[in-house]
Every structure is written in C-alpha cells, then in structure tokens.
Chain A
C-alpha cells in the first residue's frame, strides 16, 4: 500500500520568513493534493498536481511535483499568521472503481508575529 511521509512534523517560523514542507511517497504519485486544516476542523483544498515537473501557485503558496513523481514540496513565501495550521498531502489511491486519498500525517505550522 502507498505511504506518504511528510517532513518536518512541525515547524515554527517568524512572520515574514519563507518555509518548505515536503511530502515523499513510497510509490509513484498519479495525483497529489495539498490541504490545510485548522485544528479540529475540516480540510481546505489548496492545490492538485498530476504531471511530473508540474508547479502551481496560489497567492504566496507554491507546490511542485518532482519529475519522478515521488515527491512534492509546498513552499510558503513571506509567511503570515494566517498561514498557521496543519498542512496535509494526499495521494490518489485508485482501487477497483473507488477513488480514495491516502494522507500523510501532516505538518503543523506555527507563525510567530
């Protein structure tokens, strides 16, 4: 079965600093999703990547999927307190007609004003 490992597990940064979160898969990624979660709440969709070498940006967040499609990174530029939360990567895990996501354990981001 596919496993996703996220690093680091937690991150504390000063407001205005840049940061990167990594997601490494045990198998080839066919669809990689990034979500943000506030503690105890639902997941907010950030971006989806499918093609090797693909890069997408939204506001100050950029996500990349490497050429070999086994690793993705999420980069935040000039972090703000509003970026604080848990970032989760999820991989498409097709199985016999169902579409399910396998998630990493998440990276907890704290931004100090």
Chain B
C-alpha cells in the first residue's frame, strides 16, 4: 500500500500570494490532519478532517483553510502568504478520528520570499 502522499514536495511563493497543498491518505484512512513545522520547532496542529467534516482547528488565522473530498484526500489553502508561513507542512492520516496509527507524509516545504 502506498503511504501518505503529499504534493508538491517543494514550493516557492511570493508574499501576498495564495497556495494550495495536497494530501492523499493511506487507502482506508478517513481522517486527515495538517501540521505546520517551522525550522527548529516541533509540528503544530492546524486542522483535522474526518469523513469530510472539520473536527478540529488549531490556533491559526483565517488565512488558513482546508477541505476533504469524497475520496478522503485533502487540500490545505493559505491566502495572503507571509514570510512567517515558510515551513514544512505535514499531512497525517489515520483510520478513525483518533490518533492511533497516525501516519505522516513526507511534507511540502513552502518558502515564501
């Protein structure tokens, strides 16, 4: 089985632009969570989606939004990019809404210039 796949792997954007990151969960996994990891820090929770509904949101501004599709894949959108949004964005999937069996993807490295 394929693991959690994220695209693109790397991205460079200019301040003020908008970006969309994509995540495909492991087959059979219905929950997708997004984390932001700034260099030198641990990952920070952004969103959790389960069965296409938002189940949790971290302490991030409204510029961050996400959605989950009927096939359980997910997109994370960030509007009006700031330099501080430069980070590794990680997607994790699990069979249920609980954490047990969380599997992370390799991430998307976003650089805002």
Which residues of A does B touch, CB under 8 Å? 4, 31, 33, 35, 40-45, 48, 88, 90, 92-93, 95-106
CB-CB nearest in chain A for B91: A42
Cα-based distance from A95 to B33 in the complex (angstroms): 14
Q: List 22 A-B contacts (CB under 8 A).
A: A31-B99, A33-B99, A35-B104, A40-B109, A41-B107, A42-B4, A42-B106, A42-B107, A44-B104, A88-B43, A95-B56, A97-B97, A98-B57, A99-B48, A100-B58, A101-B45, A102-B45, A103-B43, A104-B42, A105-B41, A105-B42, A106-B41
B residues adjacent to A (C-beta < 8 A): 4, 33, 35, 40-45, 48, 55-58, 88, 90, 92, 97-100, 102-107, 109
Contact between A99 and B97 (Cβ–Cβ < 8 Å)? yes
User: Which residue of B is nearest A98, CB measured?
Assistant: B56
- The distance from the CB of A75 to the nearest CB of chain B, in whole angstroms, is 20
Q: Tell me if B48 and A98 are in contact (CB < 8 A).
A: yes
- If A98-B97, A99-B97, A99-B99 touch, whether A42 touches B42 (CB-CB below 8 Å) is no
Of the candidates B4, B43, B56, which one forms a contact with A99 in the assembled complex, judged by CB atoms under 8 Å apart? B56
Closest 9 pairs (CB-CB, A-B):
A98-B56, A103-B42, A100-B45, A42-B106, A43-B104, A42-B104, A98-B55, A99-B99, A98-B48
Residue of B45, B58, B92, B100 with most partner-chain A CB within 10 A: B45
B90 cross-chain contacts in A, Cβ below 8 A: 42-43
B58 proximity list for chain A (CB < 8 A)? 100
Distance to closest chain A CB from B85 (angstroms) = 17
A101 touches B99 (CB 8 A): yes
A69 to B35, CA, bound (A): 25
**Docked pose: A45 CA to B56 CA in angstroms:** 22
Residue of A nearest to B33 (CB): A100
Cα distance A106–B57 in the bound complex, in angstroms: 23
Residue of B nearest to A50 (CB): B100
CA distance A33 to B106 in the complex (A): 18
Alpha-carbon separation in the docked complex, A104 to B4 (Å): 23
A42: chain B residues at CB < 8 Å are 4, 90, 104-107
